[in-house]
Amino acid sequence: MSMHSEEPATSGEAGVDYMTDTRPIAAGEAAPGCKKRDPIVVAENVTRSFGGINAVDVEYLEIPRHKITALIGPNGAGKTTLFNLLTGFDTPNTGKWQFEGKSLAGVSPYKVARMGMVRTFQLTKVMGKLTVMENMRLGAANQPGERLSKALFKGMWGGREKQITDEANVLLEKFKLDAKKDDYAASLSGGQRKLLEMARSLMVRPKLVMLDEPMAGVNPALTQSLLDHIKNLKAEGMTVLFVEHDMHMVRHIADWVVVMAEGKVVAEGPPGEVMKNPAVIDAYLGAHHDVDLGDSEGLKELAAELVADEESIVGTENAGIISLDVVAGEAEPDRRGTGRHQAGSPHGRHGSTDTGSTEKDGQ
Ligand SMILES: Nc1ncnc2c1ncn2[C@@H]1O[C@H](COP(=O)(O)OP(=O)(O)OP(=O)(O)O)[C@@H](O)[C@H]1O
């Protein structure tokens, strides 16, 4: 079933099943900044500094169309800042970037979304004092000025009223939020709010969906459903780019992984290969070079090593990257990913600045 009542607006190559398409993603060898066979986003020399810190310093990056790309890296690597720059929520100091061949320099976040590139936030931006259905209507409005009035007052949509409501109902049903459509968004759980934000972003029929830590703060009972929704986006022809600290999720659903550290892209490639890459192990784990992150035995070995390491946070309530279930075999990982183990990051090894609980995605 399609997310929408009609066919999605995504372009489709005749006969291509996006879930089983095994054509190579990179145009040549996988390496930082490598060209893709079919890029949807191209960024060149994009930099952003705050004070003396180069938060983002991306020489060249292409995001592959119709694929799920994970953007990973330690705290402070610049992932959210890059999201903000690409979607117009922040302005780079230098550089150019394109979506579907169109330059996005100076384009407002609102227009970027209308062009088909939507995003969600680490901390959701659903409107707590509006109902679930009103939030969905907000997602569909055509002009910034008409957003609230159209969301709140029926009859202001003209001929589109029924279509908007039908589309919202299909999406809410799909995301299992239909029973809650008249409830205030504030009454939803953290995971349900993430689902609502994702459902709302789909009201514009996007081509690229960017998710900033979709699993953070989500109850384990909802994780599978979120994963399935993300895979469905791809099945329907959308491109997904997500930031995530949960390596299980990355290995499970990503077709391609881009690794950032200290503002730069330090590695790119298929998940299995990237997690064996010494630059990635360096960025995340500093001294623990000899471990294969793409292998469950390697992960166990590393977890044991880190538990024995006095400076490590693995095995504490702040553990993130190496989830506790690898160590204990049963405990749930800390999905908020707080205090990730991160030698080599600007925040230092213990991740003392927990950006997961700080609102920093400025509008
Ligand atoms: N508005 C801001 N003002 C000052 N510094 C900022 C601002 N936003 C980000 N930074 C800094 O830029 C760097 C990159 O931060 P960013 O949040 O993009 O990293 P991240 O990879 O998303 O980290 P996390 O995984 O913790 O979310 C950090 O050093 C951060 O402190």
The whole-number pLDDT of residue 327 equals 36
For 125-136, the pLDDT digits (tens) are 667 778 899 888
Rounded to the nearest angstrom, the distance between the alpha carbon of 155 and the centre of ligand 1 is: 43
Backbone angles phi, psi at 356, to 5 degrees: -60, -20
- Please state the atom number of ligand 1 nearest to the C-alpha of residue 245: 25
Distances (CA, A) of 285 to 164, 243, 271, 296, 303: 48, 18, 17, 16, 11
Asked, for residue 288, whether it belongs to a domain, the answer is: yes
pLDDT at 345: 33
- 């995530």: which residue's tokens? 244
So what's the pLDDT on residue 265?
95
Grade residue 45 by pLDDT with cuts at 50, 70 and 90: very high
Residue 124 lies in a domain: no
List strand residue ranges (DSSP E) for 159-228, in order. 208-212
Where do runs of H (alpha helix) occur along the chain?
79-86, 109-114, 132-140, 147-152, 161-174, 190-201, 220-235, 247-253, 271-274, 278-285, 296-308, 324-328
User: What distance in Å separates the CA atoms of residue 112 and residue 107, rounded to the nearest whole number?
Assistant: 6
Answer with the residue of higher pLDDT: 39 or 292: 39
Among residues 81, 115, 118, which one has the least CA distance to residue 101? 115
Nearest to 61 by CA among 343, 335, 268, 223: 268
pLDDT above 50 for 169: yes
Q: Residue 154 Cα, ligand 1 centroid: separation in angstroms? A: 40
239 pLDDT more than 70: yes
Ligand 1 closest atom vs CA 73:
21
Domain boundary among 139, 171, 187: 187
- Out of 154, 187, 220, pick the residue that ends a domain: 187
Interval between CA 40 and ligand 1 midpoint (Å): 25
pLDDT value for 335: 35
Of residues 240 and 141, more confidence is placed in: 240
Of 50, 87, 244, 353, the one to substitute when testing ligand 1's pocket (max ligand atoms within 8 A of C-beta) is: 50
Q: In this predicted model, what pLDDT tens digit does every residue of 211-224 receive, in sequence order?
A: 998 888 777 778 88
Q: Which atom of ligand 1 is nearest to the CA of 347?
A: 29
Tell whether 286 is covered by a domain: yes
Cα of 53 from ligand 1 centre, angstroms? 9
- Give yes or no for residue 3 having a pLDDT over 60: no
314 domain-assigned: yes
Is 115 part of a structural domain of the chain?
A: no
How far away, in angstroms, is 81 Cα from ligand 1 center?
6
Residue 97, beta-bridge partner list? 43
Q: Which residue has the tokens 């920093």?
A: 360
Report if pTM > 0.80.
Answer: no
Between 349 and 7, whose confidence is greater?
7
In a domain, 3, yes or no: no
Helix, strand, coil % (nearest 5) of the chain?
35, 20, 45
pLDDT of residue 104: 94
Q: How far is the CA of 126 from the centre of ligand 1 (A)?
A: 22
Residue pair 136/119 in contact (Cβ under 8 Å)? The answer is: no
Do the beta carbons of residue 44 and residue 60 sit within 8 Å?
A: yes
Q: Is 193 exposed, middle or buried (0-12, 13-18, 19+ CB in 10 A)?
A: buried
Residue nearest to atom 8 of ligand 1 (CA): 81
Ligand 1 center from residue 360 Cα (angstroms): 8
Summarised one tens digit per residue, pLDDT across range 240-291 is 999 988 777 888 899 999 999 999 999 999 998 888 777 777 776 554 445 5
Q: Which residues pair with 267 in a beta bridge?
A: 259
| Residue 303: its H or E element | helix 296-308
User: Got the DSSP string for 252-275?
Assistant: HH-SEEEEEETTEEEEEE-HHHHT
Residue with tokens 């998940």: 271
Report the sign of the C-alpha dihedral through residues 35, 39, 43, 44, in that order.
positive
Q: How many domains does one find in the chain?
A: 2
Task: Check residue 340 and give its pLDDT.
Answer: 35
CA of 244 to the centre of ligand 1 (A): 15
Half-sphere exposure in the Cβ direction for 323 (13 Å, CA): 17
In this prediction the ipTM stands at 0.97
Q: Mutation test of ligand 1: which of 48, 71, 80, 350 has the most ligand atoms closer than 8 Å to its C-beta?
A: 80
- Residue whose Cα lies nearest atom 12 of ligand 1: it is 55
At 287 the pLDDT is 44
Q: Whose CA is nearest to atom 26 of ligand 1?
A: 75
pLDDT, position 154: 59
Return the residue whose CA atom lies nearest to atom 1 of ligand 1: 360
| 71-85, 231-245, 254-268, 331-345: segment of lowest average pLDDT | 331-345
Query: 268: CA distance to ligand 1 center in Å?
Result: 21
Question: Quick check: is 181 in a domain?
Answer: yes
Q: By CB neighbour count within 10 A (0-12 exposed, 13-18 middle, 19+ buried), where does 311 fall?
A: exposed
Residue 306: which of 280, 318, 294 has the closest Cα?
A: 318
Averaged confidence pLDDT in the chain: 75
**pLDDT tens across 184-196, in order?**
988 888 888 888 9
Dihedral of CA 288/290/294/296: which sign?
negative
Q: What is the mean pLDDT of residues 61-90?
A: 94
Within 6 A (CB) of ligand 1 lie: 50, 53, 55, 73, 75-81, 346, 355, 360
Mutate to test the pocket of ligand 1, among 81, 284, 354 (most ligand atoms within 8 A of CB): 81
The boundaries of the domain holding residue 166 are 129-187
Provide the pLDDT for residue 147.
53
Is residue 106 over pLDDT 70?
A: yes
Which residues, listed in sequence order, are joined to residue 102 by a DSSP beta bridge? 99
Pairing outcome for strands 208-212 and 239-243? parallel
**Ligand 1 center to 115 CA (angstroms):** 26
pLDDT category at 141 given cuts 50, 70, 90 is: low
The proportion of the chain whose per-residue pLDDT surpasses 70, expressed as a percent, equals: 68
**DSSP code for 34:** -
Asked if residue 312 belongs to a domain, the reply is yes
